Amino acid sequence: MLEQERNIAAWFYLAPALILLAIFIFYPIFNSFVLVALEDYNYLQQTYDGFTLTGNFRNVLNDPNFGQAMLNTMLITFVSVPVSVIIALLISVWLNAIPIQKIQGFFQTVFFLPYVTNAIAIGMAFAFMFNRRYGLINWFLGLFGIDPINWINMGASYGNAMITLLIYITWLTLAFKIIVFLSGLQGIDKQYYEAARVDSASRARILRRITVPLLSPMIMYITVTSFIGAFKTYTEVIGMFGERLGPPGDPNSMTTIVALVYDALDRSGVPGAMSEAAAAALILFAITLVFTFVNMQVSKKRVHYG
Amino acid sequence: MQNVENVEELYEDEQKIRFKRRMRLALVYAVVIFFAIFIIIPFYWMVITAFKTETQVFMSPPMLWVNPVEWQWVNFSLALERAPFIRYLANTVLVAILSTAGTIITTILSGFAFARLNFKGRDVLFMILIATMMIPGEIFVVTNFLTITSFGWIEDQTFVEAVLAMTVPFMTSVFFLFFLRQAFKQIPDELYYAAKVDGKTDWQYLWGIMVPVALPTITTITILNAMNTWNAYVWPRLISQREEFQLVSNGLRDAFDDTAGRIMYHEQMAASIIVTVPLIIAFLILKKYIMRGVSRSGIKG
C-alpha cells in the first residue's frame, strides 16, 4: 500500500545514522581519491607539493614488500577459500545426516566455536602447537617416524610458514561457512530427497544433483564473502607471527595487502604516507571489485535460484 | 511356495539395507568426529599449556596431559601481572557497551524510517547504503584516522578521547541497519494502522510495538556487535596513544611478543584463555541468537 510521503519525519529518524555514515563512510570514500591525488601530503602541517595521478600508486608498487604481499594474499585466497568451502560443505552435509538432534546440536556447537574466538588468542595457540621442539604437531608426526619440521620458528622456510598460516586460516574460517551451509541445508524441502530415494539414487549423485544445486545460492554467497575476507587477511598473520609478520629472522615474509595499508599508516608523520595508505586501500578495493564481478558472472551460469 | 521365497528375499534385502544404513551412519560419525577433533585440538592445547609449569612447557616430547592436582592456576595471576589485563578488559567492556548502544539506537531509528515510512529517495538511498557494504574497511580507516585527529582526539589524548575515538565511528552499521529493516518489515502493517487508530504517534509505535517484536533481532545485533569489539585489533592499536587505553587483543599480542626473548607460553596461553572464555560462555548461552544472525546474513533479503 502506498502511503503519504513523510519526508520531515523520515529524515528525523534517519539523521543520527546518516550523520555518522556521512562522516565515517561517505566522506572517507571521497577523501581516498583526494589523498591519492596529492603529492607528499603531510597531514600534521596540512601541506602538499602538488598533484599526481599515479605517483602514490607507484609508491605502493615500489614498496619492497608489495610483491610479497600480493603473492601471499593471492596464495591465501586461492588456497584457503576453495579448501575451506569444500570442507565446510562436506561437514555440513554429514552433520545434517546425524539423525539424533541432541548429538547434532553438540557437534554444531563444536564446529561453531572458532567463530567466537579471538583471532589473536587462538593464533598464538596455533603458533605454539606448531613449535618445532615443544609443539603438538611435530610430536604427532614423530609417531609416524617423521623428523621434526621447522614450521614457524627461526629459519623456517617460506613454504612451511605459509602452510601453517593456511591451516590456521582454514580452521578459523570454517565455522562461519558451516553455519550458513547448515541453515541452507535445513531449508531444503525433504521431498527432493524422498524422490531421489524412490529412484534409488546413490549418495554421491544426490549430493551432486540435489544438494549442491539447491545450496548454490549459499555456496555463491559464501564464496564471494570468503574471497573478500581472504583478500583482507591481516589479524590472522598478527595472531600467529606478531607484528613482525613472519617467522623470526624473516620479517614481512607473511605480509599481506592490508598490512601495506597499516604499515603506511604507522609512518603517518612521513610526508606521503597517508596517500600511500589510501592508494594501497584503493588497490585492495579494485581487486575485490574485480573478483566479485567475476564471481557474479560465473554464478549467473551456475547458480540455481529455486 | 513362490510367495514364501519372495518374503524371505525381501527380508534379506531389508537386512542388507539396514546394515548398509548403519555402516553409512558409522562412517558419518567417524568423519564428523575426526573434524571435531581438528577443531577442538587448539583449544585443548591452549588449556593444557596454561596449566603447565615452565619446565613442563619446555619439554620435548611435549606433555599431553597434566594431572589436575598439579594444575598451575598461578599462571593466570602471572599472566594478569604481565600486562594490565584487568584494565584492558574494563576498556573493552566499556567500548563494547558504548558502541553497541550507539549502533542499536541509530539502526532502530533508521531501520524504522526505511521499513515503515514513505519518503522521497528512500529506495535510492537504501541502494547506496547497501553498495557501501562492498567497500573494504581499510578505505575508511585511512581517512577516519585523519578525521579523528582533526577532532583533537589523538594529540594529548585523554581516556575519554580515546574511548570516543574507539566508539563514535562504530556507532552505526549499514549491515545491522539492513538486518533490522528486514525484521521490521515482517511486522504486519495492520499493527501500525491499529496503533494509529488508538491515537499512538510513530515514536510510541516504534518503541512500544516494533522494538519489542523485533527484540530477538536486536539481541542478535547486540551480540554480534559486542563480538566485533572484543576482537577489534587494528583500530584501537592505531588510535590509542597510551598503553593503558588499549583493548584486550592489543594487550594480549604486545605482552607476549617474542622480541623480549623466550616466550612464557604457559602465561601466554593463560592470558589467551582469559580473553577467549568470556566469548565462549556468551556463545553457549546465546547460541540461538548468534547462529540465527549469522545464517540470516546468508539469506537474500
Domain locations along chain A: 66-254
Of A14-18, A21-25, A115-119, B8-12, which range is least confident? B8-12
Cα–Cα distance measured from residue B272 to residue B253, given in angstroms and rounded to the nearest whole number: 9
Q: CB distance A129–B45 less than 8 Å?
A: yes
Of A31-40, B53-62, B104-113, which range is least confident? B53-62
Cα–Cα distance measured from residue A158 to residue A160, given in angstroms and rounded to the nearest whole number: 6
State the SS3 of B137-197: HHHHHHHHHHHHHHCCCCCCCCHHHHHHHHHHHHCCCHHHHHHHHHHHHCCCHHHHHHHHH
Angle A198-A200-A205 (CA atoms, 0-180°, nearest 5)? 120
Cα–Cα distance measured from residue B151 to residue B239, given in angstroms and rounded to the nearest whole number: 12
Q: What is the pLDDT of residue B172?
A: 94
Question: Architecture of domain A66-254 in CATH?
Answer: Orthogonal Bundle (1.10)
Per-residue confidence band for A292, with pLDDT thresholds at 50, 70 and 90: confident
Condensed to tens digits (0 to 9), the pLDDT of residues B234-285 reads 999 999 999 899 999 999 988 887 655 678 899 999 999 999 998 899 888 9
Select from B134, B149, B202 the Cβ nearest to the Cβ of A9: B202
* Amino acid at site B113: A
Mean pLDDT, chain A, integer:
90
| C-alpha pair distances (Å), B93 with each of A228, B214, B224, B248, B290 | 29, 25, 14, 10, 19
Cα–Cα distance measured from residue A69 to residue A115, given in angstroms and rounded to the nearest whole number: 26
| List of chain A residues whose C-beta atoms are within 8 Å of the C-beta of residue B280 | 113, 116-117
Q: CB distance B252–A87 less than 8 Å?
A: no
Q: How far is CA B79 from the centre of its chain?
A: 24
| List of chain B residues whose C-beta atoms are within 8 Å of the C-beta of residue A25 | 132, 140, 174
CA of A179 vs chain B CAs: smallest distance (Å) = 6
Note whether B173 and B103 are within 8 A (CB).
yes
| C-alpha pair distances (Å), A294 with each of A134, A221, A224, B231 | 44, 13, 10, 31
Strand A38-39 relative to strand A50-51: parallel, antiparallel, unpaired?
antiparallel
pLDDT score of B206 more than 50 = yes
The terminus-to-terminus CA distance of chain A in angstroms comes to 27
Is B269 part of the contact surface with chain A (CB cutoff 8 Å)? yes
Please give the average per-residue pLDDT across A63-76, as a whole number. 95
Condensed to tens digits (0 to 9), the pLDDT of residues B122-134 reads 999 999 998 898 8
* Amino acid at site B259: T
Nearest C-alpha neighbor of B172 from the set B212, B121, B114, B213: B114
Contacts of A145 (CB under 8 A, 6+ apart): none
pLDDT score of B140 more than 80 = yes
CATH numeric code, B83-255: 1.10.3720.10
B256 vs B38, higher pLDDT: B38
pLDDT score of B218 more than 60 = yes
Q: CB distance A10–B122 less than 8 Å?
A: yes
pLDDT score of B183 more than 60 = yes
pLDDT score of A303 more than 90 = no
Condensed to tens digits (0 to 9), the pLDDT of residues A254-287 reads 999 999 999 999 888 888 899 999 999 999 999 9
CA of B139 vs chain A CAs: smallest distance (Å) = 5
Residue of A nearest to B154 (CA): A44
Q: Which residues pair with A50 in a beta bridge?
A: A39
pLDDT score of A44 more than 90 = no
Residue of B nearest to A222 (CA): B298
Cα–Cα distance measured from residue A80 to residue B198, given in angstroms and rounded to the nearest whole number: 57
Please give the average per-residue pLDDT across A212-220, as a whole number. 86
> Is the full-model pTM beyond 0.90?
yes
B4 vs B278, higher pLDDT: B278
Is B272 part of the contact surface with chain A (CB cutoff 8 Å)? yes
pLDDT score of B5 more than 70 = no
B169 vs B10, higher pLDDT: B169
Per-residue confidence band for B193, with pLDDT thresholds at 50, 70 and 90: very high
Q: What is the pLDDT of residue B298?
A: 47
Return the percentage of chain A with pLDDT > 70, whole number: 98
pLDDT score of A306 more than 70 = no
Is B198 part of the contact surface with chain A (CB cutoff 8 Å)? no
Per-residue confidence band for A305, with pLDDT thresholds at 50, 70 and 90: low
CA of B195 vs chain A CAs: smallest distance (Å) = 16
Q: What is the pLDDT of residue B2?
A: 54
Spell out where chain A has E strands: 38-39, 50-51
Q: What is the pLDDT of residue B24?
A: 86
- Domain spans in chain B, listed from the N-terminal domain onward: 2-74, 83-255
Q: CB distance B272–A218 less than 8 Å?
A: no
Contacts of A196 (CB under 8 A, 6+ apart): A205, A206, A209, A210
Residue of A nearest to B277 (CA): A117
Nearest C-alpha neighbor of A150 from the set A139, A140, A138, A167: A138
Q: What is the pLDDT of residue B301?
A: 31
Q: What is the pLDDT of residue B299?
A: 42
Q: CB distance B59–A281 less than 8 Å?
A: no
Q: Which of B17, B124, B143, B184 to mutate to test the interface with A (most CBs of A within 10 A)?
A: B143
Q: What is the pLDDT of residue B211?
A: 95
Condensed to tens digits (0 to 9), the pLDDT of residues B89-122 reads 999 999 999 999 999 999 999 999 999 999 999 9
Cα–Cα distance measured from residue A14 to residue A17, given in angstroms and rounded to the nearest whole number: 6
A302 vs A15, higher pLDDT: A15
A304 vs B208, higher pLDDT: B208
Question: In the 8-state DSSP scheme, what is residue A132?
Answer: T
